[in-house]
Amino acid sequence: MSNIDRRTLVKGSLAAMMAGAAFSRSAFAQSSEPILLGVSGPLTGPNAQYGTQWKQGFDLALDEIQAAGGINGRKLAYQFEDSQSDPRQSVAIAQKFVSDPRIVMELGDFSSPASMAASPIYQRGGLVQFGFTNSHPDFTKGGDFMWSTSVSQADEQPLLAAYAVKRLGLKKLAILHLNTDWGRTSRDYFVKAAKEYGAEIAVTEGYIAEERDFRSTLVRVRDASPDGLILISYYSDGALIARQARQVGLKQTICAASSVYSPKFLELGGEAVEDVHLGTRYFPEDPRPEVKKFITGFKAKYNGQEPDAFNAYSYDAMHMAAAVVKIGGTDRRAVRDAFAKVKDVSSVIFGTATFDVESRRVKGAMNAELVVRKGQFALWDGKPT
Amino acid sequence: MSSWLDYTINGLIVGNVYALVAVGLALIFGVSRLINFAQGSIYLVGAYIGWVAVVQLHTPLPLTIIVVAVAAALVGLVIERFGLRPLQNSVRIAPLLATIGISFVLDQLVMLTFSPNPRALPSQLPDVRFQIGGGTIGPLDLLIAGVGITSALLLFVFLRYSKLGWAVRATAQDRDAAMQMGVDVNRVNQAVFGIAAALGGVSGMLVGMYYNQIDTAMSLQATLKGVVAEVVGGAGNVPGAVIGSLLLGLVESYGVAVFGTSYRNLFAFLLLVVVLVLRPNGLFASARQAPPEPLTGTFIAPSRPVRIPRWALLVAAAAFAILPLFPVSFYVLQTLINAWLLGMLALSLTLVAGTIGQVSLGHAALLAIGAYTSALLSLGFAVPVGLSIIGGGLMSAALGTALISPSFRLRGHYVSIATLAIGEIVSLVILNWESVTRGPIGISGIPPLSLFGYDLISPNSIYWFSLVVMIVLALLQARLLGSHLGRSFRAIRDDDIAARAYGLSLNRYKSLAFIFGGFAAGVSGGIAAHLYSYINHETFNTQQSILALTVVILGGLGNVVGAIVGSVALVGLPELFRIAAEYRILIYGIVLLLLVRFRPQGLLGTM
């Protein structure tokens, strides 16, 4: 690229940005323009897989929203900006969205450092940051423009503990958890609940996200002689741990958090994840109509692919955004106020979702107790494994 | 006691896996004195080619290995021919940067072709397990060990007894002399890259089968562990790389045994630092081996810097200062704020890497120290934010210099590797020292920037604040470079023996450079902490360190204005390419490669 080209490119895009800001204001009045949501999330970088899963859920939900007549006759659309889950880029994206009058609400980001670094900008700019995967307990404390449908770990972990201790009868537990803000918070809630139910915690081991080899960790687990393994993991690391546990000869019952709920967990884990127990928010044969609609719709749109937990989060988030915008319209403050007004929005994760205005989160996630049988997720029949 | 046997076996098993990458790295380092940061990407490519062969084409295992080896070797040849050969007469550091750019491009191409979702790569070997101690091993463990040890032995024999092997070693010892003796140096390089890439590709495939999982994030981790193992064994020493890998696996496994899983990598990197400090040439380097780096400073070649007239700088500074008065969007301002913050880090690194020749790959650690200090001071001790940022700078200067001082005796690439390790160690200490840093939960609710009691929260005020801080630091640094200190720094960089003969105390000057540089980086981290309001151990990561080094090389090593220009360019380019969505990092990598190719001395030249 010659110097002249580069210079014109820079000038051109700067001019385009300014012109865009000026132009969009006038275009906004016309109702043929879609209502625009901003999404900040990873499309490249180490977390790129989650951004692609978000997109699948968003697109399916948008198809349904559009088919049902959109938002009072107007279409709903989103603008996805790649942040690589990097706080430096998520703050720039935040300013971009805040200063773009077409954006009525923001969704994301994925990781806590990227999301919470951008929160002050959204709060001061008066644009809702709807963090639908942000389980960090301090996320919604960033201000009254921060709302989240992420399942609170204070809700989820006691359910998992009840499954492991009360239903499966495990009394001495080894916990392996991702050493991130999510994994740590989850572990603490799990330990508290499990102890209340009368179980003993033999050992807890935190591992970093890039870890692939768990053999030595599993020797520590073996030496603590637990009768059950608890995995607070995502599906890829959960599958690795299950495989290696079986390879080193650990035969204990494995019980995992809902984040392993993905067809990839079965694919990556193979025979080793047979009989793994997990709590989830929904499951394939779930009789609830919203779940049936989600799963059949997803399979039809993506060549028979089974949806996973992150697909469900983003699908729900887009439907929630639509419900909010239906009430709040396109005024940013009204959109924020609408979060407190939406009632009983149909949701795969919650059944029906209503925000708790105090915590700006949704309580009461659905719960199903599953087990892997013959390479498929199935509702647990109460039989011991 | 039987547990210790299990820990030992597990250590050897995982060391086995590291060895596959380390051998390829050692081979390339042995010949071209280059740490090939693209080796992990070739490993990634090999894993995905293996997936295509196994899952789509259903090839049997021997054929799969051949397909992967040939395809990966071709990738290696392309990298050598088009990525590295054009750079062979330019600055020694240019190929290093080129391999980083190549790894961006390869990783992105794989991600775009195969999507970032992890995939299962089923093993094609029968699933029988042999009981050893309390655990079991399978046929893949044996195959991986077999491939690792056989390839190391074959390479050893090849290098020692074949004619091409002699040529390779001659080239490694003295490229010009080898050329004069009629060795076709290019052909040698080609052979080495082809072999190393074939090995890298096959190892990616085998490791993918081993874990039944491949994904695009495996590349950087493989490079990091491979580099550690290779350097522990003695850079460029092929059998040493295997032993270094096994040792690394053992140390990690015992670390887990004694302290728990979250300390695992801490031990890997501590091992590296200890080995570098005690035996800089690696554990298995023979005493009569030629020094790994030339005695004089050809690592960073001088070039004629572009002189920018003072009035032009003043005009540019004034233009940026009045920019917020015009109707520019806050997005542009925020992007420039990021550039000014990166600029402070780049000023620090350009002093340390460019002026005194200590190329650091762990500079993000200084940001983290500054950020945590400032955040904790303001939250825990109610120190006003302006003062806490200065506190962060001072802490970063003191702690950073103390941490790096054991590796002052190292040169060239070894400094980079030691600093890389120190950077990782700082991040892991932050993760594990929960009573102070709050571990993985991170620190939230950090108060916003403020000055004399006034909160700086509008983008305009943050913009001016960070611009002024950066300019002040830049002016101080320019003043420093113009003084006798600057001349001493450059003397040490260009020829440390001559400098020492002239009576300069190397350690004292290196400390001074790190103190000044640490302060600038710490201030940048401190400002960032108050800007983000939330930080954890992932906020300042290895990618930041690599980005900072890229900025510095792009701008011209040691060049103060260059560091700032480079920051604006490398923050701005990915933002300009936003329109390209998933393709933007690919484009960024290509632009980086073109810049290295056509302007290896940096945009403004080395000072």
Residues B355, B261, single domain; the answer is no
pLDDT band at B286 (very low <50, low <70, confident <90, very high): low
Residue B546 CA to residue B363 CA, distance in Å, equals 8
Residues A66, A182, single domain; the answer is no
Residues A223, A265, single domain; the answer is yes
Residue B535 C-alpha, separation from nearest chain A C-alpha, in angstroms:
6
Q: What is the mean pLDDT of chain A?
A: 87
For chain A, how many structural domains are there in total?
Answer: 2
Find the CB nearest A52 among B116, B212, B444: B116
Residue A56 C-alpha, separation from nearest chain B C-alpha, in angstroms:
13
A196, containing H or E segment = helix A181-196
Contact B581 A210 (CB under 8 A): no
pLDDT value at A77 more than 60:
yes
Surface-to-core class of residue B301, CB atoms within 10 Å of its CB (0-12 exposed, 13-18 middle, 19+ buried): middle
Residue B120 CA to residue B209 CA, distance in Å, equals 8
- Tokens standing for A221? 């687990």
pLDDT band at A31 (very low <50, low <70, confident <90, very high): low
Residues B262, B342, single domain; the answer is no
Residues A40, A138, single domain; the answer is yes
Q: Which distant-in-sequence residues (6+ apart) come within 8 Å of B115 by Cβ?
A: A49, A52
pLDDT, one tens digit per residue, over B142-186 is 888 888 888 888 888 888 888 888 888 888 777 788 888 888 888
pLDDT value at A3 more than 50:
no
- Other C-beta atoms closer than 10 Å to the C-beta of B270 total 18
Residues B246, B320, single domain; the answer is no
Q: Of A38-47, A224-233, B497-506, B561-570, where does mean pLDDT reach its minimum?
A: B497-506
Residue matched to tokens 């939960």: B441
Q: Which distant-in-sequence residues (6+ apart) come within 8 Å of B262 by Cβ?
A: A179, A205, A206, A207, A208, B431, B432
Question: Which pLDDT score is estimated for A105?
Answer: 95
**Nearest one of A212, A238, A82 to B112, comparing CA atoms:** A82
Q: What is the mean pLDDT of chain B?
A: 86
Average pLDDT for A354-377: 89
pLDDT value at B296 more than 50:
no
Max mean pLDDT among A212-216, A381-385, B33-37, B234-238 falls in A212-216
> Considering the domain boundaries, does residue B296 fall inside one?
no
Residues B123, B60, single domain; the answer is yes
3-state secondary structure of A278: strand
pLDDT, one tens digit per residue, over A306-364 is 898 889 999 999 999 999 999 999 999 999 999 999 999 999 999 899 999 989 999 88
Contact B110, B49 (CB under 8 A): no
Question: Which pLDDT score is estimated for A136?
Answer: 87
Residue B344 CA to residue A227 CA, distance in Å, equals 53
- Alpha carbon B142 to its chain centroid, in Å, reads 32
Terminal alpha carbon distance of chain B: 59
Residues B252, B320, single domain; the answer is no
Report the residue count for chain B.
Answer: 607
A362, containing H or E segment = strand A361-362
Average pLDDT for A149-171: 90
Residues A181, A192, single domain; the answer is yes
CATH number at residue B24: 1.10.3470
Residues B251, B316, single domain; the answer is no
> Considering the domain boundaries, does residue A67 fall inside one?
yes
Question: Which pLDDT score is estimated for A198?
Answer: 92
pLDDT value at A20 more than 80:
no
Question: Which pLDDT score is estimated for A385?
Answer: 58
Residues A206, A309, single domain; the answer is no
**DSSP state, residue B86:** G
Residue A264 CA to residue A311 CA, distance in Å, equals 12
Residues A168, A135, single domain; the answer is no
As a three-state string, the secondary structure of B361-410 is CCCHHHHHHHHHHHHHHHHHCCCCHHHHHHHHHHHHHHHHHHHHHHHHHC
Average pLDDT for B65-74: 94
Residues B153, B25, single domain; the answer is yes
Torsion angle of C-alpha atoms B394, B396, B399, B404, degrees rounded to 10: -130
Residues A168, A314, single domain; the answer is no
**Nearest one of A130, A57, A39, A38 to A309, comparing CA atoms:** A57
> Considering the domain boundaries, does residue A342 fall inside one?
yes
Contact A219 B574 (CB under 8 A): no
Residue of B nearest to A48 (CA): B116
- Count, in order, helices (H) and strands (E) of chain A: 12, 16
Residue B207 CA to residue B199 CA, distance in Å, equals 12
> Which of B9, B117, B449 to substitute to test the interface with A, most A CBs within 10 Å?
B117
A351, containing H or E segment = strand A351-353
Residues B499, B544, single domain; the answer is yes
Residue of A nearest to B427 (CA): A208
Cis before residue A109, ω within 30 degrees of 0? yes
Residues B240, B147, single domain; the answer is yes
Q: Cα dihedral sign for B18, B19, B20, B23?
A: positive
Residues B417, B554, single domain; the answer is yes
Contact A116 B532 (CB under 8 A): yes
Question: Which pLDDT score is estimated for B564?
Answer: 94
> Considering the domain boundaries, does residue B285 fall inside one?
no
Residues A228, A374, single domain; the answer is yes
pLDDT band at B1 (very low <50, low <70, confident <90, very high): low
pLDDT band at A19 (very low <50, low <70, confident <90, very high): very low
* B31 vs B256: which has the higher pLDDT: B256
CATH number at residue A374: 3.40.50.2300
Residue B106 CA to residue B24 CA, distance in Å, equals 17
Domain hosting B523: range is 310-324+335-598
Q: Which residues in B lie closer than 8 A to residue A122 (C-beta atoms)?
A: none
Question: Which pLDDT score is estimated for B71?
Answer: 95
pLDDT, one tens digit per residue, over A121-134 is 999 999 999 999 98
pLDDT value at B70 more than 70:
yes
Residue of B nearest to A207 (CA): B262
Residue A233 CA to residue A181 CA, distance in Å, equals 12
pLDDT value at A16 more than 50:
no
pLDDT band at B299 (very low <50, low <70, confident <90, very high): low
**DSSP state, residue B89:** T
Residue B366 CA to residue B351 CA, distance in Å, equals 14
Residues B319, B271, single domain; the answer is no
Average pLDDT for B381-399: 94
Residue A276 C-alpha, separation from nearest chain B C-alpha, in angstroms:
18
Question: Which pLDDT score is estimated for A197?
Answer: 94
Q: Of A21-35, A361-375, B533-547, where does mean pLDDT reach its minimum?
A: A21-35
> Which of A14, A44, A250, A308 to substitute to test the interface with B, most B CBs within 10 Å?
A44
pLDDT value at B335 more than 80:
yes
Residues A175, A72, single domain; the answer is no
**Nearest one of B102, B98, B100, B74 to B86, comparing CA atoms:** B98
Q: B533 touching A, CB under 8 A?
A: yes
Count contacts between A and B (CB, < 8 Å).
220
Residue B321 CA: distances (Å) to CA of B317, B318, B468, B531: 6, 5, 9, 20
Residue A117 CA to residue B516 CA, distance in Å, equals 28
Residues B255, B314, single domain; the answer is no
Residue B535 CA to residue B540 CA, distance in Å, equals 9
Average pLDDT for B487-509: 85
pLDDT value at A86 more than 60:
yes
Residue A322 CA to residue A326 CA, distance in Å, equals 6
> Considering the domain boundaries, does residue B294 fall inside one?
no
> Considering the domain boundaries, does residue B558 fall inside one?
yes
pLDDT value at A173 more than 80:
yes
pLDDT, one tens digit per residue, over B18-30 is 888 888 888 888 7
Average pLDDT for A220-226: 92
For chain B, how many structural domains are there in total?
Answer: 2
A105, containing H or E segment = strand A103-108
pLDDT value at B297 more than 50:
no
Average pLDDT for B250-278: 88
**Nearest one of B438, B426, B415 to B266, comparing CA atoms:** B426
pLDDT value at B205 more than 60:
yes
**DSSP state, residue B433:** -
Bridging pattern class, strands A253-256 and A277-280: parallel
Question: Which pLDDT score is estimated for B457?
Answer: 82
Question: Which pLDDT score is estimated for B302?
Answer: 63
> Considering the domain boundaries, does residue A290 fall inside one?
no
> Considering the domain boundaries, does residue A223 fall inside one?
yes
Residue B413 CA to residue B231 CA, distance in Å, equals 10
Domain hosting A211: range is 153-280+368-379
Percent of chain A with pLDDT over 70: 91
Residues A269, A320, single domain; the answer is no
> Considering the domain boundaries, does residue A146 fall inside one?
yes
Question: Which pLDDT score is estimated for A66?
Answer: 93
Residue of A nearest to B598 (CA): A1
> Considering the domain boundaries, does residue A100 fall inside one?
yes
Contact B518, B401 (CB under 8 A): yes
Question: Which pLDDT score is estimated for A27?
Answer: 40
Residues A146, A168, single domain; the answer is no
Bridging pattern class, strands B450-451 and B454-455: antiparallel
pLDDT, one tens digit per residue, over A287-299 is 889 999 999 999 9
Q: 156-215 in B: which are within 8 Å (CB) of A? A: 211-213, 215
> Considering the domain boundaries, does residue B315 fall inside one?
yes
Residues A167, A95, single domain; the answer is no
Q: Which distant-in-sequence residues (6+ apart) come within 8 Å of A58 by Cβ?
A: A39, A78, A314, A315, A317, A318
Find the CB nearest A219 among B3, B262, B439: B3
Contact B46, B205 (CB under 8 A): yes
Residue type, B32: S
Q: Which residues in A lie closer than 8 A to residue B329 (C-beta atoms)?
A: 17-18, 21, 95-96, 99
Question: Which pLDDT score is estimated for B285?
Answer: 65
Predicted complex ipTM exceeds 0.90? no
Residue type, A133: T
> Considering the domain boundaries, does residue B606 fall inside one?
no
Q: Which residues in B lie closer than 8 A to residue A240 (C-beta atoms)?
A: 211, 213
Contact B49, B73 (CB under 8 A): no
Find the CB nearest B459 among A87, A95, A268: A95
> Which of A216, A236, A237, A274 to substitute to test the interface with B, most B CBs within 10 Å?
A216
Percent of chain A with pLDDT over 90: 62
pLDDT value at B514 more than 90:
yes
Q: Of A310-319, B446-455, B582-591, where does mean pLDDT reach its minimum?
A: B582-591
- Count, in order, helices (H) and strands (E) of chain B: 24, 4
